[in-house]
Amino acid sequence: MTRVLYARVPLVHGSWWLAWTEDGVCAGAGPEWDEARFVSWIRRRHDGDVAGGDPAAVPDGIDWRFVPSGFRRDVLRACARIPAGQTRTYGQLAVEAGHPGAARAVGTAMATNPLPPIVPCHRVVRGDGRIGEYGAGGPARKAEMLVREGVVVRDGVVAS
C-alpha cells in the first residue's frame, strides 16, 4: 500500500499544502485550506496511510494517481507543460491536450485540478484574454500569481 505524506510547503506563490508519494506530488491545495480539510480531502481519495511529512522532502515529479486516466488527465498533463510566464487559452490547451473543440470541458478540468500549483491551472485564461475564475483563491490570486511570473495583467485581462 502506498503511503501519502503531506506538509505545508513554501512555494513562489505562497505556502501551499502538498501531498506526495515516492513517485511525486499527488495533491495540492491553496493557502486558504487548513490542515484538517486537506487531510480529509486526501483520505477520501486514498485508503492507505496518510501522515505528515517534511516539507524539504517533497520529491520532483507528479504522481497522477488521484487523476483518472482519459480526457481530464490529458488536459492536466498538457497544462503541467505550460512554462512560467506564459499563458494558454482554454481552446489552445484543448488542442495541446489532443482534444480540439473541447475548450469548455478544459475549463471543468481546470476547476477540478487536484494539483494546484504543481499543475499550473492559473496559467489558463479565457479566449478573450480575461483571466477568469480561480478555485484556489479567486481571480485576484490568479492575477497575482501570473504577475509574479512576469505576465502583464491589466484590469483582469492578460496583455498580449
This prediction has a pTM of 0.91
Q: Find the catalytic residue in 121, 131, 145, 158.
A: 121
Supply the angle between the helices 103-111 and 71-80 in degrees, to the nearest 10: 80
Q: What is the predicted pLDDT for the residue at 148?
A: 94
Q: pLDDT tens across 133-152, in order?
A: 988 888 999 999 999 999 99
Q: pLDDT tens across 36-83, in order?
A: 999 999 999 888 899 999 999 999 999 998 898 999 999 999 999 999
Q: What is the predicted pLDDT for the residue at 135?
A: 83
Q: What is the predicted pLDDT for the residue at 160?
A: 72
Is 26 an annotated catalytic residue?
Answer: no
SS3 149: coil
Q: In this structure, what DSSP letter does residue 83 have?
A: P
SS3 10: strand
Q: b/e map of 101-134 (b: 16 or more CB within 10 Å)?
A: ebbebbbebbeebbbbbbbbbbbbbbeebebbeb
